[in-house]
Amino acid sequence: MADDKRIDAATGTEIKHHEWDGIQELDTPLPRWWLWTFYATILFAIGYMVAYPAWPMIDRATGGLLGWSSRGALDKELAAREQQMAPIRQAIADTSVTVLPHRPQLMQAAIEGGRAAFRVHCVQCHGSGAAGSKGYPNLNDDDWLWGGDLAAIEKTIADGVRNPDHQATRQSLMPAFGKDQLLTAAQVDDVVAHVRAISGQDRANAASRRGAKLFADNCAVCHGPKGAGDRTVGAPNLADAIWLYGGDTDSIHDTVWNSRHGVMPRWDDKLDKVTVRMLAAYVHSLGGGETRPETLTKPGG
Amino acid sequence: MLMTGSPSLYEKRKGVYPKAVDGFYRRLKWAVMVVTLAIYWGTPWLRWDRGPYAPDQAVLVDLANRRFYMFSIEIWPHEFYYVAGLLIMAGVGLFLVTSAVGRAWCGYACPQTVWTDLYQHVERFIDGDRNAQVRLANAPWSLPKIVRRLAKWAVWLVIAFLTGGAWIFYFADASTLQQQFWTGTAAPVAYGAVAVLTATTFILGGFMREQVCIYMCPWPRIQTAMLDEKSLVVTYKHWRGEKRGSLKKAQAAPDIYGDCIDCNQCVAVCPTGVDIREGPQIGCITCALCVDACDAVMAQIGKPRGLIDYCTEDDALAEQKGGAPRAVLNTLLRLRTLAYFALWIGVGAAMLFALGVRTRLDISVQQDRNPIFVRLSDGTIRNAYTIKLRNMEARPRRMQVSVTGLANAKMWTDAGSREQASSALTTMVAADSVEKLRVFLLLPSAGPVREDFAFTVRATDREGGGDSEPARFERP
Ligand code: SF4
Ligand code: SF4
């Protein structure tokens, strides 16, 4: 090897043996500091492997002398966040839901907390934007079965609707007029025609006039003489544009014939009071929340 | 572990001990050094009154609030294109300088050059000039050597610390941060930045010097492509200098020998250890200290200056063929440099224009998509929007938000309720901040038309400043 070593005259550096289109390469040495830098990176890597989790073992990686783990770091951060949130949660717990709006910062915190809780517990039925779907109320609109002020919403969330094991639960009982033969098939048709008429979807006609009498006898107890509903018993307003189960003839017929008994869980059993209160604040903030308790029904416009 | 014996794969650094020199270019370098260091150290301490709501530091990169202040200009994150414009100007500026005067940036204004130069002056002050430095480097370790080394490193460290320390003042109010720094209450990142910059300045300026230029810096590699035969570079005029010989030989046989008396002064003063007489090479940063050195020699031996000089390749060829040397200034103006200059001016003018006409309020409107609309019990349709009002003025402003193109529309925010709906909203937007509004918009007569409306949201303040943004109203 030593024999065929060729030295470049100009630089005194060895010339390598390969050649591309007459271009040859000088074997120029790298600077020393480069080498030392390289050694330093190796040392760093070894130190890192000792200090931090590095080598994969059968069920976990080596622990590392510093005892650091990404899971542990996350736990620490979560605990810190929780501690940071604790006074706010306490303040929300100590503030009645009707007073909450008078403390804007607390209200804002509650809305944000409620938004997060909603994503976990409520979106399955009410949808991620709380717009609901057939049978699941839209929480953005201004139509409320049980009232839309903060206290009413909080109670609905806390106690649920038709929760079988609890006294306080929201309970509305519409009979199945067709199925249980309280009305004949023709009578049900007439009632449906009447409901279509009072909701402004159809003009009054002979059938709806017959239905008006039946409605006054059978339905007005809960829905009111004009069909404006009654929130104390959860009877929906039939004169407005919002239909939980659909406002077309078939859907209304179905409702009168079979009745509908939607169920919402009682969240007091699953969530703490603060979270329920936060959920109420969030739902109230969606745009349809009412400012004052409304016990009386008001006719739809 | 180190490979010994020759040839080693790794080369030990050859010491470079540049000799002190005086002359035109050396003085130019002094001037540039004073100016650039003064700018670097002085800028954070300049004040600029922006009123009560904004910091009064003339140049400030406020990372926490994501603002960039430069005298009367204030840049918000969404206006980052101004920074992009500055970078483009800096890039074109480098092209311009390089095509006109070669690696002048490297030789005079590059921080690596400036700090290395500063460090070498310190070194000369403590160790003495070139010969003393070589002697000291080769001497075995002794008390005087240790004392000198420690003294030198100490001064270097102080400079490095001042360098790293000044950097953080660009990111926070300088005098406040200085107090916090000394009392230990500054942010950890400030101490980290100072530590890192102190270390890099100390190592790069003190020990690595020309190695940074030769091995680490990408710029000389790019520059090689930027230079052409009309660019000024430091050139040894071999047709005048060769054949070299000592002064004695040259005087004895003036016909054989050229002007170069092989005194090696040009090599001795070179901060990167280049022998320019071997032709243009990557190590040369065109600082022209060799020009000063050789000019001094020429003056002593009674020959005209400029054996080594700034010279374009074209001029070199012309001169070689017997032409007279051209004045340096004549080489500066040519199509390429003028084109770069025009581009540079163009970008700058466009930015100035954009700065002049930019509005200081920015409104953005985003419609809720989930749900896209809500039908209310009276049959009307309500849509929700998130409106962001970005007040970029250094004073709070009362903004009025209204919509046009949507007759009879009523609106209210999520802080109010439908009973409070009106045709316009007013809201305070704090100085230099963004106000987020969730707005419900209701069209009272939502007839059976299935159509979406385009409309415009506008925000104005009492002085009439404002902005508008198009949006849509969706219907079932
Ligand atoms: S300083 Fe001038 S005369 Fe001396 S060796 Fe260099 S080129 Fe030749
Ligand atoms: S060769 Fe001359 S111009 Fe080039 S770096 Fe050395 S002293 Fe400066």
Q: Bridge-partner residues for B366, per DSSP?
A: B386
Q: What is the pLDDT of residue A301?
A: 33
- The CB of B232 under 6 Å from ligand 2? The reply is no
C-alpha span between A191 and A193 (Å, rounded): 5
Q: What is the pLDDT of residue B471?
A: 85
Burial class (CB in 10 A: 0-12, 13-18, 19+), B132: middle
Structure tokens at B354: 């954009």
Cβ–Cβ gap B371/A140 under 8 Å: yes
- Under 8 Å between Cβ of A258 and A176: yes
Handedness of CA A8, A13, A17, A20 (dihedral sign): negative
What is the B107 CA–ligand 2 centroid distance (Å)? 8
Q: What is the dihedral of CA B47, B50, B52, B57, to 10 degrees?
A: -30
Q: Given B11, B377, B418, which is nearest A143 (Cβ)? A: B377
Chain A residues 92-111 within an 8 A CB cutoff of chain B: 104
Q: Given B10, B371, B375, which is nearest A241 (Cβ)? A: B375
- The CB of B394 under 6 Å from ligand 1? The reply is no
Q: Give Cα B254 distance to the centre of its chain.
A: 51
H helix or E strand, kind and range, residue A20: strand A14-20
| DSSP 3-state of A170 | strand
What is the B33 CA–ligand 2 centroid distance (Å)? 17
Please report the atom of ligand 1 found closest to the CA of residue B308: 7
Cis before B14 (ω within 30):
no
For residue B466, the distance in angstroms to the closest alpha carbon of chain A comes to 28
Structure tokens at B428: 């305070």
Q: Is the pLDDT of residue A3 over 70?
A: no
Tallying the residues shown for chain A, one arrives at: 301
C-alpha span between B146 and B163 (Å, rounded): 25
Strands A14-20 and A23-26, sheet pairing: antiparallel
Q: What is the pLDDT of residue B99?
A: 83
Handedness of CA B63, B64, B67, B68 (dihedral sign): negative
Structure tokens at B239: 């047709």
Burial class (CB in 10 A: 0-12, 13-18, 19+), A254: middle
Q: What is the pLDDT of residues A17-30, one digit of tens each?
A: 888 888 888 888 88
C-alpha span between B433 and B245 (Å, rounded): 74
- Under 8 Å between Cβ of B251 and B178: no
Strands B453-460 and B424-429, sheet pairing: unpaired
Burial class (CB in 10 A: 0-12, 13-18, 19+), B108: buried
Q: A207 φ, ψ to 5°?
A: -65, -45
Q: Give Cα B279 distance to the centre of its chain.
A: 31
C-alpha span between B465 and B360 (Å, rounded): 8
C-alpha span between A185 and A201 (Å, rounded): 21
Q: Bridge-partner residues for B385, per DSSP?
A: B367, B439
Cβ–Cβ gap A240/B379 under 8 Å: yes
Question: Nearest chain B Cα to A286, which residue?
Answer: B414
Q: Which strand ranges, in their side-by-side order, compose the sheet holding B59-62?
A: B59-62, B67-70, B73-75
Q: Which long-range contacts (CB under 8 A, 24 or more apart) does A138-141 make?
A: A138/A242, A138/B371, A138/B374, A139/A283, A139/A286, A139/A288, A140/A286, A140/A287, A140/A288, A140/B371, A140/B374, A140/B384, A141/A242, A141/A287, A141/A288, A141/B374, A141/B375, A141/B376, A141/B377, A141/B382
| DSSP 3-state of B263 | coil
For the beta carbon of residue B281, count every other beta carbon within 10 angstroms: 12
- The CB of B263 under 6 Å from ligand 1? The reply is yes
The tens-digit pLDDT sequence of chain B (476 residues) is 344 445 566 777 788 899 999 999 999 999 999 999 999 999 999 999 988 878 899 999 998 888 899 988 888 888 888 889 999 999 999 888 888 888 889 999 999 999 999 999 999 999 999 999 999 999 999 999 999 999 999 999 999 999 999 999 999 999 999 999 999 999 999 999 999 999 999 999 999 999 999 888 988 888 878 888 888 889 999 999 988 988 888 888 888 899 999 999 999 999 999 999 998 888 899 999 999 999 999 999 999 999 999 988 888 898 888 888 777 777 778 888 899 999 999 999 999 998 888 888 888 899 988 888 888 888 888 899 999 988 888 888 888 888 888 778 888 888 777 888 888 888 888 888 889 998 999 887 655 555 666 778 877 877 777 888 888 888 77
Query: Residues with Cβ < 8 Å from B181, sequence gap 6 or more?
Result: B165, B168, B190, B191, B194
What is the B103 CA–ligand 1 centroid distance (Å)? 22
Q: Is the pLDDT of residue A50 over 80?
A: yes
Least Cα distance to A171 among A82, A266, A238, A77 occurs for A266
- Under 8 Å between Cβ of B216 and B282: no
Cβ–Cβ gap B382/A287 under 8 Å: yes
Q: What is the pLDDT of residues A57-73, one digit of tens each?
A: 888 888 889 989 889 99
How far are the Cα atoms of A4, A13, A269, A294, B88 from residue A16, in angstroms, in the given order? Answer: 10, 9, 81, 93, 41
Q: Mutation test of the interface with chain B: which of A33, A123, A298, choosing the one with the most B Cβ atoms within 10 A?
A: A33
Please report the atom of ligand 2 found closest to the CA of residue B234: 3
- The CB of B288 under 6 Å from ligand 2? The reply is yes
Mean pLDDT score across all residues of chain A: 89
- Under 8 Å between Cβ of B308 and B291: yes
C-alpha span between A29 and A5 (Å, rounded): 15
Q: What is the pLDDT of residue B76?
A: 87
| DSSP 3-state of B11 | strand
Cβ–Cβ gap A242/B415 under 8 Å: no
Cis before B7 (ω within 30):
yes
Q: What is the pLDDT of residue B176?
A: 93
For the beta carbon of residue B59, count every other beta carbon within 10 angstroms: 18
- Under 8 Å between Cβ of A153 and A267: no
C-alpha span between A236 and A219 (Å, rounded): 11
Q: Is the pLDDT of residue A279 over 90?
A: yes
C-alpha span between B119 and A157 (Å, rounded): 73
Q: Is A151 on the interface with B (CB under 8 A)?
A: no
- Under 8 Å between Cβ of B233 and B286: yes
* Between residues A118 and B395, the one the model is more confident about: A118
Contacts A289 to B, Cβ<8 Å: 417
C-alpha span between A273 and A279 (Å, rounded): 10
Q: What is the dihedral of CA A125, A126, A128, A134, to 10 degrees?
A: 90
Structure tokens at A5: 């070593």
H helix or E strand, kind and range, residue B457: strand B453-460
C-alpha span between B126 and B151 (Å, rounded): 8
Query: Residues with Cβ < 8 Å from A230, sequence gap 6 or more?
Result: A222, A223, A224, A297
C-alpha span between B165 and B197 (Å, rounded): 8
- Cβ-Cβ contacts under 8 Å between A and B: the total is 82
Q: Give Cα A112 distance to the centre of its chain.
A: 11
